Structure 1
Amino acid sequence: MKPFQFKQFNIDQSKEVFRVGTDGVLLGASSTVKHAATILEVGTGTGLVALMIAQRNMAAKIQAIDIDKKAVDLAAKNFKNSPFNNRLHVFLQDYRNFSAEEKFDLIISNPPYFEQNESVKDSVARQQIELDFPILIEKSAELLAEEGLLSVIIPFEAGILFEEICSKSGFYLIRKIQIYGIKGGNPKRLLLEFGLQRKTVLISNFVIEQSPRKYSEEYLKLTEEFHHFSK
């Protein structure tokens, strides 16, 4: 497959690994990363989100894990070929069995969100087979630093369930971005950030397309340091 070109790095892709998509770009560009020194990405795929975060936070050390060896090999290649390679490390790892010597300032994930079904296309990356919401949330509560954040992007309709599980695991919602695919449409995604300390919740809306195939000004502004396209 043709590599996906960003301004400071390229993403080699494969038909066997979940490709670059808008969800990953939004997560990598929108998540709160400024003060995070230690970051863990769960389910890295091509390594896109980790690379975007490495570009945004030049001091962060980032670990990425995936349960799929083909994804790990691809992410390792993309990390090695990037200008941030000395701060990026990827491991073949089941999150359920993951352990670390230090806790993380940020745990970030674009998790599988479909219930298990008969489709075989990107099944591990898209379906809750190896990583479901309770596993992601409960494990993150163990690994997160006291002032750390858990940042995810999920379908809008999964938001209530995700927030309920987080609450039971001791997380507090800190930030919610309701993402609309097109102006005037229904919300499609949620970018949610949780912490272990109660804080004022910041809620905002974000529109990807102003009209069909025309990106909104806010999307162009958000991604201007990554994408090559112009207005």
Structure 2
Amino acid sequence: MLSNKDFCFKQFAISQERCAMKVGTDGVLLGAWVNVHNVKNILDLGTGTALLALMLAQRVKNCKISAVEIDEGAFLQARENIQRSPWAEKINIYHQDIADFTQKCGEKFDLIVANPPYFSKGVACSSLAREQARYIQSYSHLDWLNMAESCLAPKGRICFVLPYLTGEILQKQTALYCVERCDVTTKSGKQPQRMLLTFSKIFQPIKKTNLTIYNEQNQYSKDFVALTKDFYLKF
């Protein structure tokens, strides 16, 4: 049963009171932006509320999605969100550490997505769950990328959303090819704050784009509306 605290999209809703990190623009951008051409088998690492898994289930008609979450509260909430959605039969959720899952799953994925913890350890959070969701713990962003690569199909793609400078660093650290990059600016005239990235084992010239969320009049930009209109109720 939905409550007034749930985040409602056009085709599904997210309950999130037991999840440390709530639904945010970064996750929605990634879920709407990733290229789903020829995708059948999808992995969502650190699924949280199951936002990305559900967005991709909406976008890809015939697919199988595996969603992995280590925090018990988030796992239970994500499972409820999935079971309540129109695509419960498409999505399997695992209460597991991402390293264990990627080492033992025995599958190869066409698309792997992640909205990983962004920050180095900082000011203590109100709960351990929020610290796990917000701060890099045992695994660096390169670790996340390497774990994803270990179960990536030969022609598969890995897509992350990261802070802008972190994304710049990660591209230099990995042997994978960055084939697509979108620099995200909150408001016209400001510097980019986020980066959407696609990595592949196969070389191709990088496709670079830019996205601005708000225009000079503090209204949503046409590009942002076009990208997210299948999900947000306000468009």
Same fold, judged at TM 0.5 (above): yes
Work out the CA distance in 2 between the residues paired with 1:21 and 1:85.
22
**Which residue identity lines up with residue 174 of structure 1 in the other structure?**
V
Q: Which moved more, 1:10-19 or 1:182-191?
A: 10-19
Work out the CA distance in 2 between the residues paired with 1:221 and 1:68.
33
Shift in Å, 1:27: 0.5
2:196 is the counterpart of 1:191: yes
The alignment covers a number of residue pairs equal to: 227
* Cα deviation 1:90-111 (Å, max 9, x = unaligned): 1111111112222000110001
Work out the CA distance in 2 between the residues paired with 1:184 and 1:213.
12
Aligned residues: percent identity? Answer: 34
The question of whether the paired residues in 1 share the 8 Å contact of 2:19 and 2:49 is answered with no
**Which residue identity lines up with residue 111 of structure 2 in the other structure?**
L
User: What TM-score results when the alignment is normalised by the length of structure 1?
Assistant: 0.94
User: What stretches of structure 1 move > 3 A for 4+ residues in a row?
Assistant: none
* Residue of structure 2 aligned with 1:111, choices 97, 116, 120: 116
- Partner of 1:86, secondary structure, is coil
Supply the RMSD in Å over aligned alpha carbons: 1.3
Work out the CA distance in 2 between the residues paired with 1:212 and 1:56.
31
The question of whether the paired residues in 1 share the 8 Å contact of 2:19 and 2:48 is answered with no
2:67 is the counterpart of 1:64: yes
Q: Which residue of 2 aligns with 1:40?
A: 43
Q: Which residue of 2 aligns with 1:180?
A: 185
- Structure 2's unaligned 5+ residue stretches are none
User: What TM-score results when the alignment is normalised by the length of structure 2?
Assistant: 0.93
Work out the CA distance in 1 between the residues paired with 2:18 and 2:172.
35
**Which residue identity lines up with residue 147 of structure 1 in the other structure?**
K
**Which residue identity lines up with residue 190 of structure 1 in the other structure?**
M
Work out the CA distance in 2 between the residues paired with 1:40 and 1:9.
19
Work out the CA distance in 2 between the residues paired with 1:101 and 1:28.
25
Alignment of 1:1-231 (within 5 A): 2-14=5-17, 16-98=19-101, 99-121=104-126, 122-167=130-175, 171-211=176-216, 213-230=218-235
- Structure 1's unaligned 5+ residue stretches are none
The question of whether the paired residues in 2 share the 8 Å contact of 1:111 and 1:131 is answered with no
